[in-house]
A and B are shown apart, each in its own frame.
Chain A
Amino acid sequence: MTNELPPGLAIQKVDERIMTLNVGPQHPGSGHMRIIVQIDGDYIVACDPDPGYVHRGEEKMAEYRNYITNIPHLERPVIHDSCNVLYPYVLGVEELLGIEVPERAKYVRVICSELNRCIYIMYWLAIYGIFLGHSTMFMWPAGDRELLIDLMEKISGARVTHAHFVPGGVRNDLPPNFEEVCLRQVNYFEKRIKEYAAVFYDNPILISRTENTGVLSREDAIRLGTTGSVLRASGVDYDLRIKEPYDVYEELDVHSPVMKEGDSYARSKIPWLDMLESCNIIKQALQKMPKSGSVRVKLKPNPKGKGFDSVYKRVESGRGSLGCHIVSDGKVEPYRLKLSVPSFRNLIALPYLLKGEKLGNMPSVYWSLNYWPVEADR
């Protein structure tokens, strides 16, 4: 078939009982994408996720900008997790240049990365709450995010898109008196998110709604190539902070949460446990961080004599392993830049999970995949 119509436009011969619903892009429960759902009564018989509504050509754009001006736009795919999106790019450029980052900068990066992970997960959790009709769980995380956003504002000066990581370290040193403020805020934040269990994770209605729905077995999770919280909810202990530690993660005591069930309850609980673990990591990093020192090495402009070179770096972002492949031809712009994003990998599992589920489970299963539409489209 050469002139095949895009999904949703093609005329399909289906049973008269089956109704095709276009969930999105103008739908409160879809995000910036469309899910074409075919339902028979209350049961979903087929599901076809159709991303691409917010494609911005980040990868092509990166080929026309030099390595420094790539920083502000490469964090756009997930502005709530902007440090983690930028992390593999910065690590890759550093490896291409062959520079060593100061110790203090590495700790600052880890702190920023974990703070951003919490900020992203809080936003994700807010939307998960409203997808299940729990309006309190929408407002509480959206409000408590402010604590950490204020911290990031103190560090970088911006509330969401920080552009704080640069090749060779971080842009600025921490503000004075930051350690005490950060410890206080993070302690309060930890206490606060533990309260969510009473109203959300231990809620009997939530448990009965999400338990045993959209079960992804361990084998399927590996076969479909899912990452991050989806993979760890299916019982695979795979966390890049432990398996391929970057910066100073090997000096810190990281315990990544793993659950065996693989249903949407487990997938929704893993990010919450991740947040608690992040608080733990931040506290450790604040303790072990060198109290003074440089946070940025000066870059040599355009290292000559290097031909084609490529590097692939990946980090554990709020959604899973996020990779960045940079091909350099020795110029000031990258020859090719490829982002390998966890959202798109996790979305692949959606048609498998939704088949045979009830329509009422669609929002909870869809959003439990820890999926961010803008990141999947780049």
Chain B
Amino acid sequence: MSVIAPDFKLSGFIKSLIDDIVWAVLIMSLIGLPAIMMILFFIPMPVIDGELLTPFLAFTYLADPSRTLPIVQAFMETDMFKIMAFPGFGFAALIAAGTIFVERKMLAKLQLRVGPFYCGKVEGILQLMGDGLKLISKEIIIPAKADKPIFWAAPVLFVASAAAFVALIPVAPGWVVADVDMGLLAVFAVIGFFPIVTILSAWSANSKFPFIGGIRALFQMVSFEIPLILSLLGVVMVTGTLNLSEIAASQSSFPWILFLPVGAIVFFITMLAELERIPFDLPEAESEIVAGWLTELSGMMYGLVQLGTYLKLYAFAALFVVLFLGGWNGPMIVPPLPMEIATHGMEMGPITLKIGGLEPLLTQLITQEMLNGTLMFVLKTVGVIFFILLPRGVFPRIRVDMLLNLGWHKLIGLAFVNIFIALGLVYAGVLGPGGLQ
């Protein structure tokens, strides 16, 4: 029997709406509120400003900003916020989404087309959301002979590795999820995970084209990891630290790209290869091996891999900014924050509006330096991302043997040249301890 949509009646619609609301209120008041009360009874509530937090007090926070702001501040200082929202996943995902949109529009302009146009009224700005919804709603098809647990796990692992990479990037002074002293070493460790995840996904699909794509990805990533690591050693030599925040802070006067341009170029090329961008998109070479190691992935599994790819793209671009372009350092272009409003309140005719929690928030967390640093970081990262996207419109794909020749012969040699330049600069006393910096 075919399903025919019933005729729409406004009265019926309103009736069903009221039905839903009645049921929601009933369930909430009979089950929900008692359950919340019982949970709150067993949980030790924090004492904020000398007052015990009760549910009734929590409701007043919604109306009183001077009570809300300390809570917001306390939340922003937690690791949870850093991981989920600002320097971590949410921020990176936002930039990744912007990257996808800019890539599609820019490539379209380059190729004399329009690109996404209709979805979202303004220049197709909601196209990504539409694509995401489509991917979520699609059926996930697993090959019959696939190794199912590993095949399921691989896209998740890919996103997890990319998110771990994002967590190591310092965005503004003090704003980094994981501020480890061995930061650069941790980056190398995380980058080492990607080929493993790729070959796991490719092999577990038990199909020919993903297998060839996985082998190619393995070749490519392993052979470009060595010049990648070597090209960054120059920066480590002149700064004397592996901590990414300290490396970024050490470039307050000038970025390292001025002294180590060879290392920056080698790192940029290896970055393109690690990201599988054109001209190094061999693992996903469409006309040769369908979609490479992504061939058997369907629905949101493919979407997760794409999300991971763009998170990785952001993280690599950010790493380039931190290591060679000076991270958050730059001219102060953000105007000073209105501190007198925070301290003395805002005069609105006869009354003076004073918000209690604003001053510590503006002095401790959202400072002028932090805003400016974030702005500088984002501007530089977007610039680097633009240069990563640009070759896609200009170059064809290269071949495996040319790729390996480039990685093993030319880039490793250039990386060593860069190391000698760095050593020379340190021993000549230009940079390093006692030098300019």
Q: Which residues of A does B touch, CB under 8 Å?
A: 19, 21, 27-29, 42, 129-140, 143, 199, 203, 205-206, 208-209, 358-363
State which of B94-102, B109-117, B351-359 sits at the interface with chain A. B109-117
CB distance from A36 to the nearest CB of B (A): 12
Structural contact, A133 and B112, CB atoms closer than 8 A: no
Partner of A360, one of B110, B393, B394, B400: B400
CB distance from B297 to the nearest CB of A (A): 16
Structural contact, B111 and A133, CB atoms closer than 8 A: no
Structural contact, B111 and A363, CB atoms closer than 8 A: no
Q: Does B65 contact A (CB under 8 A)?
A: no
Instruction: Determine the chain B residues whose CB is within 8 A of the CB of A362 once the complex forms.
Output: 288
Structural contact, A209 and B287, CB atoms closer than 8 A: no
- Interface flags, B37-62, vs A, CB<8A=1, else 0: 00000000000000000000000000
Q: In whole angstroms, how far apart are the Cα atoms of A360 and B113 in the complex?
A: 29
Partner of B396, one of A19, A27, A134, A359: A134
Q: Which residues of B does A touch, CB under 8 Å?
A: 107, 110-113, 208-209, 212, 278-279, 281-282, 285-290, 392-402
CB distance from A188 to the nearest CB of B (A): 14
Instruction: Determine the chain B residues whose CB is within 8 A of the CB of A208 once the complex forms.
Output: 398, 402
Structural contact, B398 and A209, CB atoms closer than 8 A: yes
CB distance from A72 to the nearest CB of B (A): 32
Structural contact, A136 and B111, CB atoms closer than 8 A: yes
Structural contact, B286 and A203, CB atoms closer than 8 A: no
Q: In whole angstroms, how far apart are the Cα atoms of A203 and B397 in the complex?
A: 11
Q: In whole angstroms, how far apart are the Cα atoms of A361 and B289 in the complex?
A: 12
Structural contact, B111 and A139, CB atoms closer than 8 A: yes
Q: Which 5 A-B pairs have the closest CB atoms?
A: A133-B397, A29-B287, A139-B111, A134-B396, A132-B396
Known A135-B111, A360-B282: A21·B396 in contact at CB below 8 Å: no
CB distance from B272 to the nearest CB of A (A): 12
Q: In whole angstroms, how far apart are the Cα atoms of A129 and B111 in the complex?
A: 13
10 extra interface residue pairs, beta carbon distance < 8 Å, beyond A27-B290, A135-B392, A139-B111: A132-B397, A133-B287, A133-B397, A134-B395, A135-B111, A135-B393, A139-B112, A205-B395, A208-B402, A360-B285
- Pairs A–B under 8 Å by Cβ, sample size 21: A21-B208, A21-B209, A29-B287, A42-B401, A130-B287, A132-B397, A133-B281, A134-B395, A135-B278, A136-B394, A139-B113, A140-B111, A143-B112, A143-B113, A205-B279, A205-B395, A205-B396, A208-B402, A358-B401, A359-B289, A360-B397
CB distance from A211 to the nearest CB of B (A): 11
Q: In whole angstroms, how far apart are the Cα atoms of A209 and B278 in the complex?
A: 14
CB distance from B50 to the nearest CB of A (A): 64
Known A206-B396, A360-B288: A136·B110 in contact at CB below 8 Å: yes
CB distance from A8 to the nearest CB of B (A): 14
Structural contact, A133 and B278, CB atoms closer than 8 A: yes
Partner of B107, one of A19, A134, A135, A206: A135
Instruction: Determine the chain B residues whose CB is within 8 A of the CB of A206 once the complex forms.
Output: 396
Structural contact, B396 and A29, CB atoms closer than 8 A: no
CB distance from B113 to the nearest CB of A (A): 6
Q: In whole angstroms, how far apart are the Cα atoms of A136 and B392 in the complex?
A: 8
Structural contact, A133 and B399, CB atoms closer than 8 A: no
CB distance from A356 to the nearest CB of B (A): 13
Instruction: Determine the chain A residues whose CB is within 8 A of the CB of B111 once the complex forms.
Output: 135-136, 138-140, 143
Structural contact, A140 and B288, CB atoms closer than 8 A: no
Q: In whole angstroms, how far apart are the Cα atoms of A107 and B412 in the complex?
A: 61
CB distance from A19 to the nearest CB of B (A): 6
Partner of A199, one of B279, B288, B289, B394: B394
